[in-house]
Amino acid sequence: MSKPSTEQPDFDEEFTKAVAEWRDKHRLREDDAVTLLVELFRIHQQHWDQIRRREIPAFGEFRADIGKIADAARTFQVQSSALLEALRNQPPAHRAARITRAAAIFATLAALLAGYLIGRVWP
């Protein structure tokens, strides 16, 4: 498998040749307004291409970041599985603090009676 070339082709020469042929075809002078606009467009395009190259990471960096994310996801999965297994092995705590139905009914009746008696004492 051959290593892909990291150099980008230089299209400036092709573009310059195409502009020269276009200028000759339409008999435009070097200092014609349309030619100056084409040159201004080239300056604009080169400026934005440089900004884009600075902001977009290289493929190698992107690939390394994806590898780090995949490693972090695997670590998270292993640790969360271990945590779930540890939680499953714990004795259920809700059984120890369970309130029976009879105790709940008794507490409700006691609260109602206390409320009635307090209401009778303080009119």
Q: What is the pLDDT of residue 95?
A: 57
User: Does residue 46 sit within a domain?
Assistant: yes
Ordered DSSP codes for 23-70: HHHTT--TT-HHHHHHHHHHHHHHHHHHHHHHHSPPHHHHHHHHHHHH
User: Does residue 49 sit within a domain?
Assistant: yes
User: Does residue 70 sit within a domain?
Assistant: no
Q: What is the pLDDT of residue 9?
A: 63
Domain holding 21, by residue range, is: 11-56
Taking the chain (123 residues) in runs of 10, the rounded mean pLDDT of each run is 57 80 82 82 86 79 89 94 89 68 93 88 70
User: Does residue 51 sit within a domain?
Assistant: yes
User: Does residue 28 sit within a domain?
Assistant: yes
d(CA 87, CA 83): 6
User: Does residue 92 sit within a domain?
Assistant: no
Q: How many domains does the chain have?
A: 1
User: Does residue 30 sit within a domain?
Assistant: yes
Q: What is the pLDDT of residue 24?
A: 85
User: Does residue 76 sit within a domain?
Assistant: no
Q: How far is CA 8 from CA 4, 15, 19, 72, in A?
A: 11, 15, 21, 34
